[in-house]
Structure 1
Amino acid sequence: MFLPQARSLLRLLSSCKVNAKVAWVLQESPTLVAAVLCWCWGSEACTSSLGNVAVLMCFVIHYVNRSFIYPLRMKGSKPFPLPVMLMAATFCAANGYVQCRSLTRYLMIPMSWTTCAGLATWAAGLYINVDADHRLRNLRAPGETGYKIPRGGLFDYVSGANFFGEIVEWVGFAIAMGGALPGVTFAFCTACNIGPRAVTHHHWYVEKFKDEYPKDRRALVPFLL
């Protein structure tokens, strides 16, 4: 009795669509709420540590971009099913709390060479990610329709430059956290989530453009995968 009702409810919710820009703001911004709350109730030792602040700022900068800058620049994206938005918001809220609580209460991050290496890796990933998003947004000139092959930047090497950039970001974040479980888990989950999407996108490009698509371009990792 319960299962058919649950399926009916899920179908009903799936039929509800949310404007893409609104959905991005609502699903990503819980991370920033978590950052503010955790900072307000953080320990003085953590919130006064330069290493902790630097790593926390990496997290905040990424989600300021994802919550506000990225959606405001979106062009013609399809509406999101309500359940997808709600699941993403739930993950962002939970993950935001875990990462920010760890950095403001439980972890002490020294400004060591490992931390600096992680921050540099994160910055490189952010640059790749933002650059790829910019190139994807501007693939078509005003009035153009249809699909085009992304080119330039890391797209010269992989189909999923934006996905690769985000994975690099969170690997750098995990390194900067000193290999702490929250950061490593987040990096691993990110790779498992968007890595297969990059492979799927690559196969779609190959099928769509056939011989026109660059044959030496990989799916996710330059020269390897």
Structure 2
Amino acid sequence: MSMISFTSLTISGLSEIFGRHLRYSKFGDAGGGRSRGFKPISSKAGMLFLYSPAMVYAVAAPFVFDGLVDGIRARLVAAALAIHFAKRVFEVLFIHQYSGQMGFDSAIAISLSYFLSTLTTIYAQHLTQNMPEPAMDLKYAGVLLFLVGIFGNFYHHYLLSKLRVKGEKVYKIPKGGLFELVICPHYLFEIIGFIGICLVSQTVYSFSFTFGTIIYLLGRSYVTRQWYLSKFDDFPKNVKALIPYVF
């Protein structure tokens, strides 16, 4: 699963760079409306479908599956994943504004990916029970990074939601926060959050998934910046894609 997760996320990141986008967000209509016989669904319904299964599993796992989540490290991992996806669901319902549609095939693929990665992260932690603790315990540093990531991601999602008044469907150049330096600070903080979970977990799978996620979001942020450059003549050239002053 570590190899599958890393490989699939890496391929997805490279596919973004080469123009094969998962159809959501501003790339929701990439490649045309219908795909593979599926009718597109609203972005809000699609995003809710993306995150809900993973959230439900992360919340339920410590209570439903006896002995699956045992020990402080495992509980912290499950709690972090539950908070991560619960925040996503909250944002879908109360924060984000949507203007397009999502390919249903993309919604299925992404939802399944989130669900399987959550399931596997928790199960990989279960397999470490009764094994020696890592020589360097990074779980509390991981908790700190996770909190920085979750709050930074939420703040920049909130800024994005304030760009448009209710009912407005046009895209605008984001302003405020780290948007003054990068076009995807929400991705940057998402990476920080996943690095935090990785440090709490300290398993091969969590490292593989986090590394693959970084590669995917590097690709996604690159094409996002290219999209803004193509749509807005006044897009600031000094604003990078993901990492301030660097990329």
Following superposition, the deviation at residue 37 of structure 1 comes to 5.1
Identity of aligned residues (%): 23
Q: 1:118–1:140: structure 2 CA closer, same or farther, 3 Å change rule?
A: same
- Which letter does structure 2 place at the counterpart of 1:187? T
CA contact (8 A) 2:43 2:102 kept: yes
Aligned position for 1:43: 67
Post-superposition CA distance 1:109-165 (Å, at most 9, x none): 78x762111111111111221111111111123465533211111111111111111
Structure 2: give runs of 5+ residues left out of the alignment.
Answer: 1-33
Tell me which moved more, 72-81 or 166-175.
72-81
Find 2:153's aligned residue among 122, 129, 136: 129
Aligned position for 1:87: 109
Matched, 1:23 2:74: no
TM-score, normalized by length of structure 1? 0.82
Q: 1:59–1:143: structure 2 CA closer, same or farther, 3 Å change rule?
A: closer
Matched, 1:222 2:244: yes
Following superposition, the deviation at residue 50 of structure 1 comes to 2.4
> Which SS does the other structure have where 2:171 is aligned?
coil
Post-superposition CA distance 1:150-183 (Å, at most 9, x none): 11111111111111111111112111212x1121
CA contact (8 A) 1:30 1:96 kept: no
> Which SS does the other structure have where 2:36 is aligned?
helix
Aligned position for 2:199: 175
Aligned position for 2:37: 12
Matched, 1:193 2:206: no
Matched, 1:107 2:144: no
> Which SS does the other structure have where 2:96 is aligned?
coil
Matched, 1:154 2:178: yes
CA distance in 2, matches of 1:94, 1:141: 36
Tell me which moved more, 137-146 or 25-34.
137-146
Aligned position for 2:225: 202
Instruction: List structure 1 runs of 4+ shifted beyond 6 angstroms.
Output: none
CA distance in 2, matches of 1:79, 1:59: 27
| Greater RCO, CA 8 A, separation 6+ | 2
Following superposition, the deviation at residue 27 of structure 1 comes to 2.3
RMSD: 2.4
Number of equivalences:
208
- Which letter does structure 2 place at the counterpart of 1:193? Y
Structure 1: give runs of 5+ residues left out of the alignment.
Answer: 1-8
TM-score, normalized by length of structure 2? 0.75
Find 2:87's aligned residue among 62, 65, 78: 65
Post-superposition CA distance 1:183-206 (Å, at most 9, x none): 112212212222211111112222
- Which letter does structure 1 place at the counterpart of 2:52? S
Post-superposition CA distance 1:59-97 (Å, at most 9, x none): 11001112x212113323312111111111221221121
Aligned position for 1:6: none
> Which SS does the other structure have where 1:12 is aligned?
coil
- Which letter does structure 1 place at the counterpart of 2:231? K
Larger radius of gyration: 1
> Which SS does the other structure have where 1:147 is aligned?
coil
Find 1:139's aligned residue among 152, 163, 166: 163
Find 1:34's aligned residue among 57, 64, 71: 57
More helix by proportion, 1 or 2? 1
Q: 1:144–1:97: structure 2 CA closer, same or farther, 3 Å change rule?
A: closer
- Which letter does structure 2 place at the counterpart of 1:197? R
CA distance in 1, matches of 2:41, 2:137: 44
CA contact (8 A) 1:18 1:82 kept: yes
